[in-house]
Amino acid sequence: MARLRNSGAEVGLREYLLEQAVDFRDLYGLVVDGAWEQLSKPVDQLLGGEAYRLYRWQLSDDYPAVMNGPISDVLTLTADDLLVDGSSGSSTARRAALSSKRQVCGCSWW
């Protein structure tokens, strides 16, 4: 299980996700033409220390954040290894973006 550093960074999460991505690529990458290249993209992102988008269900079963919402939630592991909600960075940013969309279209239900 990944542990938090004093800075709040996730220790081991990137490595766990990398291991899962490599295993998946190795298992299915040669089954279909072009699959290896597509399945190498997450591996390259994780190896390169880039921000990585994932779903909550991709976390290990014993990881604390796995129970903090629906398994279909989109999360981001940032380049500095912080796990945040949403593909755009944070749930606060998503709420602000939705709020501005509501104001533009005049919709109170959206």
pLDDT in tens, 19-75: 999 999 999 999 999 999 999 999 999 999 999 999 999 999 888 899 999 999 999
**Side chain identity at 38, as an amino acid letter?**
Q
pLDDT above 90: residue 79: yes
Nearest 10 degrees: Cα torsion 14, 47, 17, 72: 100
pLDDT of residue 36: 97
pLDDT confidence bin for 86, thresholds 50/70/90: confident
Instruction: In whole angstroms, give the CA distance from residue 45 to residue 41.
Output: 6
As a whole number of angstroms, the distance between CA 67 and CA 73 comes to 11
